[in-house]
Homo-oligomer: A and B are copies of this chain.
Amino acid sequence: MKIIEGTISSPKGFHADGLHCGLKKKKKDIGWIVSDVVANAAAVYTTNQVKAAPISITRKAIEHGQTLQAILVNSAVANACTGEQGIKDAESCQKMAAEKLGIEPNNVGIASTGVIGHLLPMKTLQNGIEALQVESGDSYGFHQAILTTDLVTKEITVETVVKGKTVTMSGVAKGSGMIHPNMATMLSFITTDAVISGELLQELLKTTVDATYNQITIDGDTSTNDMVIIMANGCAENEEILKGTPEYTAFVEMFHFVAQTLAKKVARDGEGATKLIEVSVKNGIDRESSRMIAKKVVGSSLVKSAIFGEDPNWGRIICAIGYAGPKIQPEVVDISLGDQEVLKNGQPVPFNESSMLSVLKQDTVCIEVDLKMGQAAGIAWGCDLTYKYVEINACYHT
């Protein structure tokens, strides 16, 4: 597998476009991904009980045949808490995109992100959909069109060889605030030209999301709109990837890498963040509890503020481990910040202040926790809590 320059339309047979239609003042706000042929598809959605209209439309579309041929995305307006009208509007968007592309509405997924409680301005969206291109589209424009408070686009493209055929996978994501466990205001779209069944994709997506997107946290909130969709259109014409084969292992690895890369980029671009925080828990009782502890540490406002202040306040780390939920043995826990051990068997270890400062000044701060209880591990990613986070969120909406 190697990383290549590319966009969401790099896999064979995909196209993408993104442009400004007027939902935002100036920035791009609508885009789509289109496949030449119907693609096998899988998706996971927010666990929030309050689900935006596009969630139910896309779920219905994918459940219909585990396929999609296009995904239409708008930013600025989330189309959440918009009742019957919101559902109708999302359906209209789906139909308009399908008509323009000459494909089945059931093969068009819809995603929205932005402010909750506003109806979509349908005339503006209609103009946007009419203006979107396929062959001559600005595919990097798609990466930009899905952003809200994000500062940077987030993408990764990789390729590998499956029995002599080059298979490409590309992913793009938007995130920023309201990102926590189970699909917060995060949208991520992954395209691949691999030949693989929709059922296998769905199974793989679930386990991949659990280890990656669901292990990032910005502020503990879970949004109404999040989804991750993968489309595999088979244009690479490789021999079908089947479970248990070496090709399957290679595909899983590629998929995990793409998802993890995007998840870390989303965490690093958390609202107001200056640093990525990576918490690795090892020797836990089981994977679930190790992941839970990692995520509690990376989600603690006190830990996040301390990292912002470049303060090796390990007390807040052991404290978060203690309230995370899973059973621990406080008197055996070790904690390191980068290569500097700070806690050994539950008690402080003197450390070199200047070595510590150089650890805390890095763009990524790694916290390692050894629970010494079993053999399971878990990793979670987040970002520091800064003045900028408060500023962004005190002044976003009305």
Interface residues of A (CB under 8 A from B): 47-51, 78, 80-83, 115-118, 177-178, 180, 182, 219-224, 299-302, 305-306, 308-309, 311-316, 318-323, 327-328, 330-331, 343, 346-348, 385-387, 389-398
Contact = CB atoms under 8 A, between A and B. Distances in A.
A390 B397 CA distance: 22
Contact of A301 (B313, B348, B386, B393): B393
Contact of A311 (B177, B318, B398): B398
A319 B221 contact: yes
Nearest to A85: B347
A80 B320 CA distance: 13
A178 B302 contact: yes
Given A117-B347, A385-B393, 11 more contacts: A49-B322, A51-B330, A116-B318, A219-B301, A221-B300, A221-B319, A222-B323, A302-B393, A305-B393, A306-B396, A306-B397
A47 B393 contact: no
A323 B49 contact: yes
Contacts of A302: 177-178, 219, 221, 393
A222 B116 CA distance: 31
A178 to B, nearest CB: 6
A393 B331 CA distance: 26
Given A302-B221, A323-B47, A387-B390, A397 B311 contact: yes
A394 B311 contact: yes
A396 B313 contact: yes
A390 B319 contact: no
A301 B50 CA distance: 18
Contacts of A328: 49-50
A331 B50 CA distance: 9
Contact of A224 (B83, B115, B322, B394): B322
B395 A347 contact: no
Given A305-B390, A343-B81, A319 B178 contact: yes
